[in-house]
Structures are given as C-alpha cells and as structure tokens.
Structure 1
Amino acid sequence: MMANPAPSAQADERRKSDVALKTFFRITDGWGLTSQQQKVLLGDPPRTTFYKWRNGEGPTLSRDTLERISYVLGIYKALRILFPTEEQANAWPKKANRDFDGVSALDVMLKGSMINLADVRRYLDYMRG
C-alpha cells in the first residue's frame, strides 16, 4: 500500500510560499516601497489576497508570482554584490538612471510586466560583469 504524497507536496508549496513572501516583503520594505508598489511587483493580486500574504496567510503562490519574487531576489542579490553597504543597495532602485532613459529601475519594474523585472535583473547582471 502506497502513501498519498499530496499532503507533503502541499506542505512544501506552503513552506515555499511562506519563505518567498517573507523574503519579498523584507526586501521591498528595505527599498521603502508602498503596499501598492509591492502589489504591482507581485503581479497585482486581489487586495484581500495581498493583505493575507502580508500577514503570513492566504493562498500558496502561483508559478507566475514565484517567478516575479525570484526576479526581485536576484535584483536584491546583485545590488548587495555591487554596493558596499545595504543602505546604498536599498537606495539604488529609486535613483534616476540614464541607462533607463532617466527613470529609476523601480519605475521600470513598476510597469507591471514580468519582462520589466527581467530587464532590471539582466541590467544588473551585466553591470556585475
């Protein structure tokens, strides 16, 4: 008789979602983002879902939302490599950037498409060499 793996898989998805969201909110709080900006980066989930996630509750994350958070994590990691202090790394997303036609990386990310997150990530990877 084989055990049903579903509860374990559900627990893994729940744990993955919880860790991803906790990390996302820690990073974006450090960047000084508003709840509305955080919502956009997460793919504009319903308001109630967003606040449940913010409180460590709510549904597990979709693949799309996990991918968005993955880009944010990559951007954060690249900034921590490029800048000597966390303060400098956290300030960079809001600074005007000539490589983004004078707008900030945050402005690019807040256009809302996953490709915008990918563009900022790719730019930072390029800057890292």
Structure 2
Amino acid sequence: METIMPASALSSAQPTPAGPQRLDPKRFDTASRRRLSAPGLRAFLVISDLWGLTEAQRRLALGLPSRSTYHHWAKAVREHRDITLDVDVLLRISAVLGVHQALGVLFAGEHDQVAWLRGPHQALVFGGRPPLDLITSGTQDGILTVRRFLDAARGGFYMAPNSIDQGFRLYQDGDIVFS
C-alpha cells in the first residue's frame, strides 16, 4: 500500500522511502535566480576572457541567446544592474565555473589550463578534439561532459595523457627528501 504524503513534505530535501531526494522548488524561483544571475554572468565573462572565447563561442556556451540579448545581459551586469536568467543559462554558467575551478586544481598556471582546453585530447569522450569544442557546442551535455571529466580527474580517476604531459617523469624514491 502506497503512503500519500502532504505537498509540504515533497519540497524537503529528505529522501523518501520510495525514491530519490526531491529538490526544493524554491531553488528555482525568480528571487533565487535574480540573486545568482548577475554575479554568475560576470564570472562567466571573466572566464570567457581568460579562455579567449569569441562572442559566438560565449553565446553557444550560454545556450545561443540572440546577439542583442547577450549584449543586453553583458551591459547590465557590467553596470551592476540586476538581471534574471533562466535555469538553463544558470546551469550552463555553473558548469563553466566548475570547469574553471577544476582546471585550477589540476593545473598550476592559467597558460596550462587554457592549453588543455584548446589542445586536442585523446580521451574517448573528446575523440581527439579539444575539450573547448564540447563547451562551445551549444548543448548543456557538452559543457557537463567536460565538467564531469575534470571532476573525475580531480577525484583521482585516470585522465589519459595529453601532449602537455609528454615531459612528465614519475617520482623515484631518491626524489623524496625527508627533513
């Protein structure tokens, strides 16, 4: 026999005996999205500058808003005005922020981070293409694939070597110095 729960219980983040956790719908309300939109887009623009993305690549990463919409958003956040982005755009921005953070953990310098993004990669998921091609493919799945790959690499899963790794030499016992 199935138990019927009141609607208020469904919005909690507690697991139900019959299924997965449910998200609180308030996370997606207009006020929450407005609070996150301007700072998120400002961070996206800074990362896009660092990565050297063209306007077309930026728009593709954001889900292909029209040029006028993109420029309206960018102008508004540069002037520190509020904007409210939809959930899809916020998810894409979040994924780009996650890619940027993971690259910062995995690579010491910004040059190496950008080189990894722009260079061809032999991992199966990239098929010899640069990871940036997936980020700017226009699909959420492309950005999230790169994010998941880097999160796995950060977590210690094997990341196939790339040209940037050519000179890497494993540490030997003699390399370890005890003081």
Q: What TM-score do the two structures reach when normalised by structure 2?
A: 0.63
Which runs of 5 or more residues in structure 1 are unaligned? Answer: 1-8
1:102 and 2:106 are equivalent in the alignment: no
* Identity within the alignment, %: 40
- Which position in structure 2 is the counterpart of 1:64? 88
Q: For the structure 1 residues 10 and 121, does the alpha-carbon distance in structure 2 shift closer, same or farther, using more than 3 Å as the test?
A: closer
Q: For the structure 1 residues 86 and 52, does the alpha-carbon distance in structure 2 shift closer, same or farther, using more than 3 Å as the test?
A: same
- Which position in structure 1 is the counterpart of 2:63? 43
Which runs of 5 or more residues in structure 2 are unaligned? Answer: 1-28, 157-179
- Which position in structure 1 is the counterpart of 2:109? 85
- Which position in structure 1 is the counterpart of 2:146? 120
- Quick check: 1:109–1:120 contact (8 Å CA) kept in 2? yes
1:22-65 CA-to-partner distances (Å, cap 9, x unmatched) read: 00000011000000000000000111110011212584100000
- Quick check: 1:49–1:59 contact (8 Å CA) kept in 2? no
Report the alpha carbon displacement of residue 11 of structure 1 after superposing the two structures with TM. Answer: 6.3
What is the alpha-carbon root mean square deviation over aligned residues? 1.8
Structure with the higher fraction of residues in helix conformation: 1
1:22 and 2:50 are equivalent in the alignment: no
Report the alpha carbon displacement of residue 101 of structure 1 after superposing the two structures with TM. Answer: 1.1
Q: For the structure 1 residues 94 and 59, does the alpha-carbon distance in structure 2 shift closer, same or farther, using more than 3 Å as the test?
A: same
1:61-99 CA-to-partner distances (Å, cap 9, x unmatched) read: 000000000000000000000001122113321111011
Which structure has more RCO (C-alpha within 8 Å, separation ≥ 6)? 1
* Runs of 4+ residues over 6 Å off in structure 1: none
- Quick check: 1:31–1:91 contact (8 Å CA) kept in 2? no
Q: What TM-score do the two structures reach when normalised by structure 1?
A: 0.85
